[in-house]
Amino acid sequence: GAVVSQHPSWVICKSGTSVKIECRSLDFQATTMFWYRQFPKQSLMLMATSNEGSKATYEQGVEKDKFLINHASLTLSTLTVTSAHPEDSSFYICSAGTSVDNEQFFGPGTRLTVL
Amino acid sequence: GDSVTQMEGPVTLSEEAFLTINCTYTATGYPSLFWYVQYPGEGLQLLLKATKADDKGSNKGFEATYRKETTSFHLEKGSVQVSDSAVYFCALSDGSTSYGKLTFGQGTILTVHP
């Protein structure tokens, strides 16, 4: 149980285009989803926290207009990188959790490369 | 702000060797501490946790003790197996659970050879 999937697992796009990454909780309903970003050989950095049906809460320094997060249902959250640039290339990881389990369950990540 | 520092990897060991991965932290208050493991192609999985000073978390032969005096949470295993090859992340939370904002270390790659 407690499986979280991400789609796609990797994506390559041209500079200036937008990319959407999906995060799904497959066997449970997630009241909260978290989005992280990881640079090579660096730690995961929390970008934003989203609760179903509410606007996401972004960490300091994360551009909310650049990284659009939608948590429309208890099993799906999406991260859209708008007008992507090469510096947005990174590994994006989502996690999902409930206050019942008091734990986050992580997806396998999405590798984004912007050319 | 809060931060976590892990020993740099990669760490390469032979099967049945003793493993230590160092982790130290900086935090205000009394954080909870976690070790996560990430196997190839999979998401991070909670390996063990400790929520207060002197607590010892343990799972699958791995152990880590919450040392407030040295602000450390080193991961140890007495005899590693090839199947332990993975990336290990130390993390802290300002709450008593991992359901909230987590601050991660940079991860340590462990490779175990037969």
User: Would you give per-residue pLDDT tens digits along chain B (114 residues)?
Assistant: 889 999 888 999 999 999 999 999 999 888 999 999 999 888 889 999 998 999 999 999 999 999 999 999 999 999 999 999 999 999 998 776 667 788 999 999 999 999
d(CA B32, CA B49) in angstroms, rounded, equals 7
How distant, in Å, are the alpha carbons of A61, A87, B43, B45 from that of B38?
Answer: 27, 25, 6, 6
**What is the pLDDT at residue B98?**
65
**What is the pLDDT at residue B9?**
85
CB-based contact (8 Å) between B99 and chain A?
yes
Contact B37, A102 (CB under 8 A): no
- Token pair of B19 as six digits: 């493993």
- Matching residue, tokens 């939608």: A70
d(CA A106, CA B1) in angstroms, rounded, equals 24
d(CA B46, CA B37) in angstroms, rounded, equals 7
Query: Quick check: A106 and B36 CB within 8 A?
Result: yes
B45 dihedral zone (left: phi>0; alpha: psi -120 to 50; beta)? beta
How distant, in Å, are the alpha carbons of A26, B29, B31 from that of B95?
Answer: 26, 10, 6
> β-strand B75-77 against B86-93: which pairing, if any?
unpaired
| A111 band by pLDDT with thresholds 50, 70 and 90 | very high
CB-based contact (8 Å) between B36 and chain A?
yes
Answer yes or no: is pLDDT of A41 > 80. Answer: no
CB-based contact (8 Å) between A33 and chain B?
no
Contact B108, B6 (CB under 8 A): yes
- Matching residue, tokens 């010892």: B56
**What is the pLDDT at residue B94?**
76
| 3-class SS shares of chain A: helix, strand, coil, % to 5 | 5, 55, 45
Residues of A in contact with B43 (CB under 8 A): 4, 93, 95, 105-109
**What is the pLDDT at residue A40?**
77
Q: Which of B19, B5, B1, B6 is nearest to B83 (CA)?
A: B19
Residues of B in contact with A1 (CB under 8 A): none
